[in-house]
Homo-oligomer: A and B are copies of this chain.
Amino acid sequence: MEYTIKKFAQLSGVSARTLRYYDEIDLLKPARINSAGYRIYGAKEVERLQQILFYRQLDLQLAEIKNILDAPDFDVEQALNDQWQQLSQKKADIERLLTAVEQTLDHYQGEKKMSDQEKFMAFKKQKITENESKYGAEIRTKYGEKTIDASNQRFLNSTAAQLQEKATTEQQLFEKLQAYVQNTQSDLAKEIFDLHKQWLSYTWTSYSAEAHRGLGLMYVSDERFTRYYDRHFVGAARALNDIIQQFAH
């Protein structure tokens, strides 16, 4: 039951490099070294490695594992409690990161959807007036409510209403922003900031000043955003960002 390093590695499923490393840090020494300088492992080493792998599977640090295995009166339960605490902390951190990424993604997709929706709404509006003028009331009795699922319609209505609100907010925002760049008034700036924050609330589920400021910076640095905002008037993106940086804390 003696193994050279490769046999031992294959037997246990770890790499030979890992075993050399464990030797180096005194976590798992070979049973002996033969005359050629080869590491030779035996049954006791198999067992110790199993234990190492058990604790490693719980993501404990190798130094911790060394403590657990080498100090006979080491408080394993305390170590596991610590590990639980650390993992819980990491989990909380990651959840925070996930929502931050989601917010940013929501925003990106919100921008895209917005312009698509705007096109769609404009198209629809045009169609309605077209149909009205062409066929009048007749068409509305022929098609209409009957063919559309009621709940689906309610959903579409509420989404449309929200989009309408958002669009209104946005329109106000740019009107005031244009007034602001032509004649700087600080009270107007605060109004604009509040409008932008409100506008954000249609896509962000929770607010963070840091993210808000980051977003402002993207308006001026990412040309897709700049183009979108400068569609209203030249310099809109930069003016908006200035205001955001001024008020978001």
Main secondary structure of the interface of A (DSSP, over half): helix
Which residues of chain A from 72 to 113 have any CB-CB distance to chain B below 8 Å in the complex?
72, 76-77, 80-81, 83-84, 87-88, 90-91, 94-95, 97-98, 100-102, 104-105, 108-109
Identify the stretch in A150-158, A174-182, A192-200, A216-224 within 8 Å (CB) of chain B at 4 or more residues. A216-224
Contact residue among B54, B72, B90 (Cβ-Cβ distance under 8 Å from A217) = B54
Copies of this chain, whole number: 2
- A61 CB to closest chain B CB, in angstroms? 13
Task: Check if B51 sits within 8 Å of A214, measured CB to CB.
Answer: yes
- For residue A147, CB closer than 8 A to chain B, the reply is no
- A90 CB to closest chain B CB, in angstroms? 6
Q: Which chain A residues have a beta carbon within 8 Å of chain B's beta carbons?
A: 47, 50-51, 53-54, 57-59, 69, 72, 76-77, 80-81, 83-84, 87-88, 90-91, 94-95, 97-98, 100-102, 104-105, 108-109, 210-211, 213-214, 217-218, 220-223
